[in-house]
Structure 1
Amino acid sequence: MQVQAPIEPEDEAHLYDRVAAHVADLIARGALRPGDRIPSVRRLSRQQGVSVATVLQAYMQLENRGLIEARPQSGHYVRARRGAALPEPRAARACTTATRVSVKSLVSKVYRACRDPHIVPFGAACPSPELLPTDKLNRILSAIARSAGGAGVSYDPPPGLPALRRQIARRSVEWGVALSPDDIVTTVGAMEALHLCLRAVARRGDTVALESPAYYGLLQLIESLGIKALEVPSHPRTGMDLDVLEEMLGRHRIKACLAIPNFNNPLGSAMPDEAKERLVAMLARREVPLIEDDIYGDVHFGDVRPRPAKAFDKKGLVMLCSSFTKTVAPGYRVGWTAPGRFLDEVEQLKFAQSVATATLPQMAIAEFLEIGGYDHHLRTLRRRLAAQIARMSEAIAEHFPPGTRVSRPAGGFVLWVELPSGTSALDVHERALEHGISVAPGPIFSAKHRFSNYIRVNCGYPFTELSEHAVRTLGRICAETAEG
């Protein structure tokens, strides 16, 4: 097999991505088939005009993605795909009553495990530092810190850093939203953005509607504010059931709706544009605000970024929230919101709650966006996350017991796994920790502690031999728990 089209010289850190992408394309097009031997490291090095080390890095990436395998004393081969994909999880049944939320004790167990560096991190939804542009950001931050003078250590009161708000507004045009910098308030991550928006429109004792299953951070937030949750069942592919929501709007006094239309956590569902438009219109007729979490919108696996529901907002009732914590730097805690007609209330709450968002991280993110580093990084990140989702799905299909179902997300980096009936996700969680593996048990994704036989699995880390061993162990635990 001739592998041609020499690669132009460029930064060594990106060359192996280019080599890996080239070989992956040959596999995708069928030029290299399962079982075929791919060119040796030295041969590909000569053909592509790159170093042996670069090819080794590329092959390591392809191995982590599950596309090739190394055979001792023989070379590298295109990896045969394992069995057929598992069916998708079933949607939840509709709830008829609002519920006071109590998930914090369960959630704290998951987070305690995530702090242990010796635990295999299938529990928390976060990307591996290996996938993030850490070196680039460190250089940017260092340069800014040296040149910013007093601006870098001063308060940046609401609405936040103008340079960052301009960059977000510029990007919003591509989403079909066309925000102005003056529409945006920067926040300490997406969670503060969601917190501020919810406080602006709801009070203790009020009822809010949200997807089921729901991200447990939203449930914790609702619990902390003394608000009741009304769970709306969601389809694993298309998201919130709007027929059920419409019925609930007619029967309950709902103060707001919380949703993650683009790649819901934990389902990975992506609401179609026509459904987003219907959702926005349905709520607008009743003057009910939609608090939209679009934190995974940039992590799509298709060719085009999906539009947020905010693109269909005609009355300023959609409060769009997002951050750069899932794509660039979790520790920078840089988020933002475009809260529509509630802008003044959110700005005032922001100042009262945290005064300002840290200045230097905002400046670094703004610079990263302006020089085009973010778009370049996203292209690689999406490709690697899609491969990791596929590899983890394949491993679950091989090692988990019969009757398992798994989601098929088109973005993000988590899988929602339905275990065989009778399996206790809480027991699986506890037993997995004993083996040095964390998972997120299903009951923390429901105000009513539903989803007793579901778990969420993080795919934000490269798939390695350790991952394979952990999935095999987890599958055995699930089988034993189901039998018990």
Structure 2
Amino acid sequence: MQMRYRDIASWIETQIQQRVWQVGDRIPSVREMSRLQHVSPMTVMRAYEQLEADGWVEARPRSGFFVRPHYNKLAVDALARPQAQSQWLDTHQDVLDVISASHKGAYYPFGSAFPDPQLFPMQALGRAMARVLRHSSHPDHFTILPPGYIGLRRQIAQRYLRQGIKVSIDEIIITNGAIEALSLSLAAVTKPGDKVIIEAPAFYGVLQTLERLQLKAVPVAVDPETGVDIHALEHALASHSISACWLMSNFHNPTGASIPAHRRPDVVSILAAYQVPLIEDDVYGELFFSEARPMPLKAYDTQGSVLHCGSFSKQLAPGFRVGWIAAGCYAMQIEKRQSVSSLAVGAPNQLAIADYLKQGGYDSHLRRLRETLSSRHEVIRTRLKALLPPSTVMSQPTGGYFLWIMLDKGIDTRDLFQALRPYGVTIAPGALFASDGRFNHCFRLNVSIVGRQNAEGVNDSQSLEGLTQIASSISALSVHSTVTAEY
């Protein structure tokens, strides 16, 4: 018992230090913590008494335990000493700048990571939400604990089955969007200090998650046309002690690349040979332009070691924050981990999406969405090809809604981002997708965006003036970089 209560006390102390619980917050009751940790109330009480003795919490009669002011725990000289700014913090600030600029009045928010909100069936989702709220009198409908609402998990399992992939309902865990799905998956198979294979360039959420979990990145190159470099992947596995691998199989963010169908079994078998769990980020898999959905890497998993992560945010309901993990043999471990972190996913959102899927029409919506994205892809790519210098290299994805554009290396696209802001145009600079500067001459473009309505209510979707401004700014930066180089 002694070690167990100390573990609980240490865990809560760490959360307070990390500001998960802030001063004045009420921590879980003795009964709730006893249930979550599967220990006796006496063990939890002993842990809370230890936290109180150490000055981290205080007991309030008939109210529970609350976080008390604890700043005296920091050494005085630590407060006075300037703290070094890490590369990750710099990158994180860049991400915040792009997100903020794309969502605060940008006329052409091409830097956004989200599809055009006008492409979603918001009225149908609203009706689904209204239906479930009218009929949600059962207590279970207000708090749905992990692994999530069984009706939604059943709908997801059926969609796997229609693709020929056998996934048990019991291995599906509903999460707060894709980022939680990926973070929980990564945390379940690693410990601080472990090495994780990621893509280069990498979705900036990967870089942030690795930093948060204190993991070390081993980048493997992604070709905009052929996806992850299989030979580089195998070399990384042979050269390092790898604990996990995080890959986007379909329409990679930011390049739009996909792993060729004939190489997918190879990827899974190579990782299985090294006994390395694969976290498959497949949030864009439904946004294909071909006749059939590409088979995820999960389809070739025979050991339960592929954790397939999906989300409804990119193709149905971005504000609902509902994702999932088909977690294979790690399902129970992830379920427990979620229980002591976020505890649960919003019940109305789960119920509404399950109701929408049950009513039918989801596949019809997806067909319309894919047609629109494919058309916008072609229009914007054709327009840019005519506007940008001949030396520009553009990806040609077969799905999703991102274009990856590579300029001359003398141009830093962070400068391009700043030059475009006064015109209400945003991009996602290449610096967001690596911490070493190797993609500073690149940028990601969201091609689902065609412009917002102006004050007169007219949508300039056909003029695509934002692309003209991007080309003009690139031209100006090219002249500046040439003059600078001459001097």
> Of 126, 143, 146, which residue of structure 1 is paired with 2:114?
126
Contact 1:229-1:447 within 8 A present in 2 as well: no
3-state SS, counterpart of residue 230 of structure 1: strand
Contact 2:387 2:468 in 1 (8 A): yes
Structure 1 position 313, deviation (Å)? 0.5
Cross-structure match for 2:4: none
Distance in 1 between residues matched to 2:477 and 2:139, nearest whole Å: 57
- Count of residues paired in the alignment: 386
TM-score, normalised to structure 1, is 0.77
Question: 1:103-140: CA deviations, max 9, x gaps?
Answer: 21221111121220344210012111211000111011
Of residues 277, 302, 306, the one that matches 1:318 is: 306
1:275 maps to 2:271 = no
Distance 1:226 1:176 in 2: 37
Code of the aligned partner of 1:465: D
Structure 1 residue 454: Cα displacement: 0.3
Which of 195, 213, 225 is residue 237 of structure 1 equivalent to?
A: 225
Question: Where does 1:212-231 land on structure 2 (aligned, <5 Å)?
Answer: 212-231=200-219
Matches of 1:175 and 1:450, distance apart in 2: 38
Equivalent residue number for residue 449 of structure 2: 461
Q: Report whether the alignment pairs 1:180 with 2:149.
A: no
- Tell me by how many angstroms 1:420 deviates: 2.2
Q: Is the 8 A contact 2:103 2:109 kept in 1?
A: no
Inter-partner Cα distance in structure 1 for 2:104 and 2:227: 33
Contact 1:100–1:223 at 8 Å: present in 2 too? no
Taking structure 2 as the reference length, the TM-score comes to: 0.77
Give the conservation status (yes or no) of the 8 Å contact 2:251–2:284: yes
Query: 1:413-462, CA deviations, whole angstroms, 9 ceiling, x for partnerless residues?
Result: 01001112311111001111122111100011113232111000001224
Structure 1 residue 397, shift from structure 2 partner: 1.0
Q: Which residue, out of 115, 136, 140, partners 2:124?
A: 136
Give the letter for the 2:429 counterpart.
Answer: P
C-alpha deviation, 1:152, in angstroms:
7.1
Alpha-carbon shift at residue 347 of structure 1 (Å): 0.3
Look at both structures and tell me which one has the larger radius of gyration over its CA atoms. Answer: 2
Q: Given that residues 421 and 482 in structure 1 are in contact (C-alpha distance below 8 angstroms), is that contact kept between their aligned partners in structure 2?
A: no
Distance 1:260 1:235 in 2: 12
2:328 aligned partner, one-letter code: G
Does the CA-based 8 Å contact 1:152-1:360 persist in structure 2? no
Q: 1:387 aligns with which of 375, 378, 387?
A: 375
How far 1:383 sits from its partner (Å)?
A: 0.1
In structure 2, relative to structure 1, the CA distance for the partners of 1:316 and 1:401 (3 Å cut) is same
What is the distance in 1 between the residues matched to 2:140 and 2:301?
36
The answer on whether the counterparts of 2:142 and 2:348 sit within 8 Å (CA) in structure 1 is no
Is 1:422 the counterpart of 2:410? The answer is yes
Q: Are 1:211 and 2:207 counterparts?
A: no
- SS of 1:291's equivalent in the other structure is strand
Flag structure 1 segments of 5+ consecutive residues without an equivalent.
Answer: 1-98
Q: Identity over aligned residues, as a percent?
A: 37
| 1:411 is aligned to 2:399 | yes
The equivalent of 2:468 in structure 1 is 472
Query: Which residue identity is paired with 1:217?
Result: G
Deviation string for 1:153-195 (max 9, x for gaps)?
5210111000000000000013332111111000000110001
User: Where do 5+ consecutive residues of structure 2 fail to align?
Assistant: 1-85, 452-458, 481-487
Give the SS at the match of 1:149: coil
Is the partner of 1:106 in helix, strand or coil? helix
CA contact (8 A) 2:409 2:441 kept: yes
Q: 1:345 aligned to 2:345?
A: no
For residue 242 of structure 2, what is the aligned residue in structure 1?
254
How big is the shift at 1:396? Answer: 0.9
Q: Which amino acid aligns with 2:181?
A: A
Contact persistence 2:287–2:399 (CA under 8 A):
yes
Deviations, residues 296-353 of structure 1 (Å, cap 9, x unaligned) = 0100000000010000001111000010000011100010001111111100111111
2:185 to 197, 204, 207: 197
Q: Secondary structure at the match of 1:165?
A: helix
User: How many Å separate the matches in 1 of 2:184 and 2:281?
Assistant: 13
- For the 8 Å contact 1:100–1:227, the answer to whether it is kept is no
